Structure 1
Amino acid sequence: MTDLVHRLVEHYGLIAVFLGCVAEGESAAILGGFFSHQHIFVLWHALAAAAIGAFVGDTFFFILGRSFADHRYVTRLRRRPGFRRAYRLLNTHPNIFVLSNRYIYGMRLIGGVAAGLSRITMPRFIILNAISSMVWAALFVTIGYVFGLGAESIIGQTLARHERLLIGLSIGLSVAVIAWLIARHIAKKERAREG
């Protein structure tokens, strides 16, 4: 079973990193770095998959906000906790907001739609989003790579390939659960503040 999972990660892992980074993708980028350290991916491939995924995701949400402002999905996003605050920040500090939005967990999707609804131009958003995506990918893939170094030194060189794979998957799951709990806590505070 672990050999099958290992082959799936080898063949489709970079696609999963890309798709994971289209949405809130910190755990996918960290896993990309971890598996790069384990020589399952080439490091620059993981960096490229994470950066392109982050860029495509934010650009998609920008276009969604810009072109489909009255669509029920966009209207529902506008009612989410924190949207008003994101929109206000975007209009007062557009460059800083676009460059830093992806680092605030749970705000990335809302931030892209808010940017699409704002006065920021498409070329300006694209340039800022590209810079932010590359820096974000380098940061989180490097965290995963360094975590791989630390795990290897703690656990030792004697790990078999499938044990490394299981460790990597448990790291990704742990990061995703922690991020979800933080986002839930932030959303609860935002609802209390807006309510």
Structure 2
Amino acid sequence: MIDAIHYLIERFGLIAVFLGCIAEGESTAILGGFFAHQGVFEVEQAFAAAFVGSFLGDTLFFLAGKHFSGSSFVRKLHQKPAFAYACRMVQAHPAPYVLLNRYVYGFRLIGGVVAGLSDIGLPKFLVLNALAALVWALLFIGIGYVFGLGAEHLIGAELAKHERLLFGLGLGVIIAGAGSYAIHRFSVHLQTQTES
């Protein structure tokens, strides 16, 4: 069973990093960096998958806001507490907003759509988004790579396939749990701000 899962990660791991980075991809990018350190795939490949996925995802969300503002998808986002906050931020600080929006966990999808609804033009957005995606991919692939170094010190330099897989999956569960908790706390904070 472990060998089958490891084979799937070797075969489709980069595709998973790419797809995961289209949406909220921090945990996926970190896992990509971890598995790159473990030699499952090259670090350059993991970086490219994270960069392209992140850039493409934010561009698609931006275009959804720019060209499909009346769609049910965008209307549903209007109901989220973070939406009004994002609108205020993009109006006050458009360039820093595009550069930093992806770092607020659980905010990226709303943030891209809100950027599309703003006065930011497509060429300016693409340049800012490319720069932000570059830094973001370097940061989170790097974090995963450092986790790989830590795993070597904890478990030993020659991690067996099943140890790599279990450590990576455990890391993914921890990151996903921390991210869910952060989203919940941020949503509660925004909800209390809008009610008061």
Normalising TM by the smaller chain, what interval? over 0.9
> Gaps spanning 5+ residues in structure 2: where?
none
Does 2:16 match 1:8?
A: no
The residue aligned with 2:136 is 136
The residue aligned with 1:57 is 57
For residue 91 of structure 2, give the secondary structure of its aligned residue in structure 1: helix
Percent identity, please.
52
Whole-angstrom distance in 1 between the partners of 2:30 and 2:113: 25
Does 2:31 match 1:31?
A: yes
Residues 164-173 or 113-122, more deviating: 164-173
For residue 82 of structure 1, give the secondary structure of its aligned residue in structure 2: helix
The residue aligned with 2:154 is 154
Moved over 2 A (4+): none
Counting matched residue pairs gives 195
The residue aligned with 2:101 is 101
Shift in Å, 1:12: 0.2
> For residues 100-136 of structure 1, what are the alpha-carbon distances to aligned partners after superposition, in whole Å with 9 as ceiling and x for unaligned?
0000111111110000100000010011001000100
Backbone CA RMSD of aligned residues: 0.9
Whole-angstrom distance in 2 between the partners of 1:157 and 1:59: 40
Shift in Å, 1:148: 0.5
> Gaps spanning 5+ residues in structure 1: where?
none
Q: Which amino acid aligns with 2:142?
A: T
Whole-angstrom distance in 2 between the partners of 1:146 and 1:12: 22
Q: CA separation of 1:158/1:130 partners in 2, compared to 1, >3 Å: closer, same or farther?
A: closer
Does 2:108 match 1:83?
A: no
Whole-angstrom distance in 2 between the partners of 1:26 and 1:186: 17
> For residues 128-168 of structure 1, what are the alpha-carbon distances to aligned partners after superposition, in whole Å with 9 as ceiling and x for unaligned?
00100010000000000011001111111353112111111
Normalising by structure 2, what TM-score? 0.97
Q: Which amino acid aligns with 1:137?
A: A
Q: Which amino acid aligns with 1:127?
A: V
